[in-house]
Amino acid sequence: AILSTKTYTLISHFDTLFFTLLGFLCSYRGIYSIFPSNQFPLITLSNILLPLLKNLHHRLRHQLVIAISFEVRVRVRVRVRVRVRVRVRIRLRDRDLVISDATNNTTSRSRDHFSSTRGTTQNNLLIIICSQFTAMNYSQTCALKFGTTDLNPMCSKPKELGMRNGLISDSQISASSQWDSNHSPSNSRLFYAPHNGRTGAWSSKTNDVNQWLQIHFKRLTAIVGVSTQGRAGLTQFVKSYTLSYSQDGSTFQSYTSNGLLKVFTGNSDTDTVVDHSLPTAIIAKYIRVHPKTWHGHISMRVEFNGCYIDCTKPGKLGLENGRIRDRQVRASSNYDSNHRAQNGRLNFIAHNGRTGAWSAKYNNVNQWLEVDLEQLVVITGICTQGRADSCCNQFVKTYIISYSMDGVVFQAYKEQNQVKVFSGNTNQLLMVHHDFSSPILARYIRIQPKTWNGHISLRMDLFGCYKDCDHDTKDLGMRSGNIQVSQITASSQWDSNHGPKNARLFFTARNGRSGAWSTRPNNLNQWLQIDFKGQTVVVGISTQGREDAGSQWVTTYMLYYSINGVSFFPYKNVGQVKVFNGNTDKHSVVHNVISPPIVARYIRLEPKSWNGHISLRVEFYGC
């Protein structure tokens, strides 16, 4: 099978069949002891393979096809023994590579650990490594790059982007010049035919290498192929050309292959379609075709193949809920350590001496607050607040945004080719939200205050989509209430005012109810359980302590999951039960990534250590 966008589904089907067959011979425990993780079968194959490949992803720049052959030897005596042999072969442009470990010694880790002797049964499976499934678990390896990316998990099924069928409107097509209005760039659609005086192609005014044809896709697009024709009805065509691309329509970058400018072979007649698959996909909003050689006159028709990258359900990216960790936030300066950049989270409140916002050391237009999202993310909007402290009427009134792929070269966000100056806040507490007319694809984003009241002080969150689920990652419903009270249960509660329904992130004490779920006894047998009402991919968790009286929070915890609500399994990472770090105070949100993700209907959080009393608020993330 070739596994693409729905890799995780096919792996699940394959592994389920595999385990069903073994189930007749092996105990439940025996089957799972083969693999380094006690997870649901969804992730077993990737757990074996991907650790061996991790050290390759910085060096390889081409699409990999991994051929896996595994052999199963089952011997039944007094007890059941199952041995598996895994062989991995990587093919790259018809060359075989040997997987090496960190010390550059040839590794036989999988072969040694899963040894087999004789009488084996062999099966084969092909995996496209940077599929949606592996991107979900290893987003650092498989994240999209702006410009070009070797493996594009968002575009496993490319299609025509709209030149031929008209989805790309005439207003989206422009050119350096045109012979006259009957030879306009709107004639440059693949298979366009002369009619009503209009000619059968776009034709430039002059014949030189400075001519270009441009398409504005209006949204981020993964472009994986290009098709060209010459002019219908006249012997004119482009024989070779190059491509360039842009995200803002003003700064263009040439398309390269192996570090060299890529020159594409064009047409040799007027009507034959010449197709090219791009060795690396282009991620951009604008693309230009630059004719380099031609016959008769520069005239051409064109189509592009790929996928539009959509973020149809944007959510908060994680400054408020803690998914974005402190290490990911920095600033040009801090007034002092109590006014640090990490205070710049939406709805952050002063505590433990820390003030209620990030405050710059200096009041000038060179200050900035920066977030490193640690992967490329589609960013669709921003929300800002001023400083929460009653002492200080401080907020940012206007600001600009800049963004970067590498953290070195930043470019300003523009609308209509002008740097966009955003209206900020008019007081300390009210939130002001802006949606971007053109979403940004970036890893780093900076907020640069231009005017302010009192002092530069800011809280914020970003909106957009992470691509670590088959659809957009979101809050699963503790805070929003989408998870109903009946879906939240616990081992015990101090009393009805301390019940599990209080265990929602950012829940505050009111109407006699306390500011968290609190257990009756303090022991290792306590748990909080969520029923998602269906199979759910859980990729993250955020926790807080008790909001009101005392200093009560959970310092460490474990997670358990279940398909049926009866049999629960501990969450493991690299074969070991994972103990998560919890909170160190009652207000801060601590976020933990769950990688590989949990796939289950039920999830339990079991506190292992705590301060004062077991008290907890929580949110889960996934899809």
Q: What is the CATH number of domain 474-622?
A: 2.60.120.260
Cα(303)–Cα(223) distance, integer angstroms: 11
pLDDT at residue number 473: 61
Q: Which residues pair with 390 in a beta bridge?
A: none
Q: Which of 559, 540, 532, 557 is nearest to 597 (CA)?
A: 540
pLDDT at residue number 48: 44
The three-point CA angle 324-571-488 to 5° equals 75
Q: Which of 131, 132, 140, 622 is nearest to 375 (CA)?
A: 140
Residue spans of the domains in the chain: they are 159-308, 315-466, 474-622
pLDDT at residue number 156: 59
pLDDT at residue number 467: 59
Distances (CA, A) of 565 to 491, 499, 528, 601, 604: 14, 20, 13, 8, 10
pLDDT at residue number 611: 97
Q: What is the DSSP string of 138-195?
A: -HHHH---SEEES--TT-SS-EE-STTTS-S-GGGEEES--SSGGG-GGG-BTT---B
Same fold, 159-308 and 474-622: yes
Residue 105 burial by Cβ neighbours in a 10 Å radius (0-12, 13-18, 19+):
exposed
Distance between terminal CA atoms of the chain? Answer: 25
Read off the DSSP letter of residue 31. H
Cα(412)–Cα(590) distance, integer angstroms: 31
Mean pLDDT per block of 10 residues along the chain (623 residues) reads 32 42 36 29 39 41 33 40 44 30 28 29 30 29 32 61 91 97 96 94 97 93 92 96 90 86 96 89 90 98 88 84 91 97 95 95 97 87 94 96 89 86 95 88 93 97 73 77 96 97 95 96 97 86 93 97 89 87 93 82 97 97 82
Residue the block writes with tokens 């290498």? 209
Q: Which of 294, 186, 284 is nearest to 234 (CA)?
A: 294
The answer to whether the Cα torsion of 521, 527, 533, 538 is positive or negative is: positive
Which phi and psi angles does 202 have, rounded to 5°?
-80, 135
* Contact (Cβ atoms closer than 8 angstroms) between residue 279 and residue 346: no
pLDDT at residue number 151: 34
Note the pTM of the prediction, 2 decimals.
0.47
Distances (CA, A) of 262 to 221, 240, 278, 293: 20, 10, 10, 14
Q: Which two tokens stand for residue 359?
A: 């405050």
pLDDT at residue number 537: 78
The answer to whether the peptide bond before residue 596 is cis (omega within 30 degrees of 0) is: yes
Q: What is the CATH number of domain 159-308?
A: 2.60.120.260
Q: What is the DSSP string of 453-493?
A: ESS-EEEEEEEEE--SSSS--EE-STTTS-S-GGGEEES--
pLDDT at residue number 257: 81
Q: Which two tokens stand for residue 410?
A: 């930043």
Q: Other CB atoms closer than 10 Å to residue 582's CB: what's the count?
A: 24
Select 315-466's CATH number: 3.30.43.10, 2.60.120.260, 3.30.420.300, 1.10.3720.10: 2.60.120.260
Element (H, E) at 32: helix 28-32
